[in-house]
Structure 1
Amino acid sequence: MASSMESSLAAKGSDTLWDFSCDACNKNEAQFYCEGCSKCYCENCVILHNQLFNSHSLFGRERMEKWPIAKSTLDILEQCGQHNDEKIKLFCEDHSQLCCHICVALHHR
């Protein structure tokens, strides 16, 4: 029973979210980051990349400190703490605080 379920899920695809997706195919989780291209690649696409750009520096998952910040993390950092649907866009010099436009209208005039 489990094997038929697994195969049907594989055939339909999945809603898996990865911290980094392959920039070339957008189908697989990225396993490498190219500093020269500033792009992430899966195991399949990195082979083609290496054929074209063999002098570029690649970093695998063991060197994640060299990778850029993940989009999901960036979205969280840009989100207003008081207004979840708003992004931080302004800085209030009087309060030394980052604000969304609603915060500015209500508290930082």
Structure 2
Amino acid sequence: SLERAGADDAFAAKTLATLKTRSPTSLNVAWRQISAGSTLSMDECMKMEFRILNRMLAGHDFYAGIRAAIIDKGSTPAWRPASLDEVSAADIDTYFAPLGDKELTL
């Protein structure tokens, strides 16, 4: 695990520290996106990206991160949910669900 590697490896420790400051939802979405994307066509990847983008822009964490970085200049964002343990598979599923009539057509 990254925790074990961080005990002996400065890069792993720094990576883990950085990941702990990021949106738990975004980390989960990115992991699934990378995992799923390796088996999809380019068109399927673009549709997946479009779905994720639409859901991110409709959510809380994108704006919390922007506010913390740009408006409040370095404050700590209040992520919702606040920890990886609080993010459910159902929460992440919504980012990948079809958009209905807003679906990207290629």
Q: Which TM class, normalised by the smaller chain length?
A: under 0.3
Give TM-score, length-normalised by structure 1.
0.26
Larger strand proportion of the pair: 1
Larger helix proportion of the pair: 2
